[in-house]
Structure 1
């Protein structure tokens, strides 16, 4: 496993697309967090408080940038797996590591580890940046439930990346993977969560469960739902990686 992990790490850091998607996760999240914080503060101070959602929560506001920054992390998870299928180098990988489960596990371990590092850094920078923008309308890291919400956000981003990699291993296509996951996270989940009678079911979608990890409520139910989705995707990918010819 050590040799496989080292090989996968070499691939990861030498492929520009994967490095750039990780960098974009950080840059997009921090940039939008700053814009969101200053916008809300400006709305309050200029007498346009009606432009702010009536259920505005300064804690959750700090994660607004992550909801868009995760797009790059979803792409990273997909490229982590599909880049080798696109170039055909997967044959060389499987020739070097005939135990497909070992090759698959090493790839996910390296990718998930990189995603976790980026997720922690992104959360610990973007959330304070947003609160700085909010000024007197924000809150602090010492507020009740905030440390738990910050940890939940980092876990969410990491699991989203792993979920994307599992779907990519199942489909073996970057375009198809992103064509399914982007609408799921940015259209299907948000729309269904606002439809009466359907919202109760929509909360079991991965994006909606993930958002509940980023608030101050009990995170365990949301964590179980998101972990279930991730395990199913990774398990399906593993089953198909073992059965297919390449």
Structure 2
């Protein structure tokens, strides 16, 4: 089957499954709603901030606070895109139709990645503009230095989270096992490693910790992170490449 046919087939599969539509919708709603809530709280407490905290105040990053939960929906989306076919047994039919396993896997990932990027960009811009509206006098403008990069980076970050999850799901094949590992890792373990002094230097190289750097405009006082916004996104991209490579190698070697 030609690559263009594989892409059309995968697009049909993705848009015909209700769960993928719901998870993407949830990612948008949660990210925007929580970002607006945190922005409102930040505005109400701004006058109580110390001079040091005011210097580290990052209105752009505050509006992206909801992405910490929204990314969990993107993880579910990425896992379901790949592992649904294993749980239903459709993988045998798919591989019979597309025997070139690399074409099959990367066609699926390409379609899902473009969709995740589109949703991520919509989420990033909506979260930014609505969050800044709530922040009022403390808001940032899209034309301020570093702000457009952060907003676009937010969309890229959400897409990379989804693609990383696809790679992990391709390796593990089971939706329950994939979610059972990814959800605690991103929601709990990564935050612990990134905030405990003994493990902070290791935690900053995890995919979400490194990638979220792209959404920062103001560097917190005392922050000694050895990479910048694009460096952090590059580290995250390496994690994604490793996950996709692992998924491809295992798909190539295993039976359906």
TM-score by length of 2: 0.90
1:236 correspondence with 2:242: no
Shift of 1:141: 1.0
C-alpha contact 2:211 2:234 (8 A) present in aligned 1:
no
In the other structure, the counterpart of 1:202 is: 203
In the other structure, the counterpart of 1:96 is: 97
In the other structure, the counterpart of 1:38 is: 40
Shift of 1:43: 2.8
In the other structure, the counterpart of 2:57 is: 56
In the other structure, the counterpart of 1:174 is: 175
Distance 1:230 1:158 in 2: 10
Task: Pick the aligned partner of 1:20 from 11, 14, 22.
Answer: 22
In the other structure, the counterpart of 2:12 is: 10
Distance 2:174 2:128 in 1: 34
In the other structure, the counterpart of 2:235 is: 225
**What's the Cα RMSD here?**
1.5
In the other structure, the counterpart of 1:119 is: 120
Shift of 1:48: 5.3
Distance 2:11 2:73 in 1: 19
1:188 correspondence with 2:189: yes
Moved over 3 A (4+): 47-50, 53-56
In the other structure, the counterpart of 1:212 is: 213
C-alpha contact 2:151 2:215 (8 A) present in aligned 1:
yes
Write the deviation string for residues 73-128 of structure 1: whole angstroms up to 9, x where unpaired: 01000000010001001111011111111110110011001101100101010111
Distance 2:69 2:144 in 1: 25
1:165 correspondence with 2:175: no
In the other structure, the counterpart of 2:67 is: 66
- Count of matched residue positions in the alignment of Structure 1 and Structure 2: 242
Distance 2:195 2:42 in 1: 23
C-alpha contact 2:172 2:178 (8 A) present in aligned 1:
yes
Distance 2:81 2:20 in 1: 7
Distance 1:104 1:210 in 2: 24
Distance 2:19 2:68 in 1: 21
Shift of 1:219: 2.0
TM-score by length of 1: 0.94
User: Equivalent residue of 1:208, what SS?
Assistant: helix
Distance 1:24 1:178 in 2: 16
Write the deviation string for residues 53-80 of structure 1: whole angstroms up to 9, x where unpaired: 7643212101101111111001000000
1:135 correspondence with 2:136: yes
Consecutive unaligned residues in structure 2, runs of 5 or more: 220-227
Write the deviation string for residues 165-215 of structure 1: whole angstroms up to 9, x where unpaired: 000000001111111111111111111112113211110001100111111
Distance 2:98 2:113 in 1: 20
Write the deviation string for residues 38-62 of structure 1: whole angstroms up to 9, x where unpaired: 2222234xx6558xx7643212101
Distance 1:199 1:112 in 2: 30
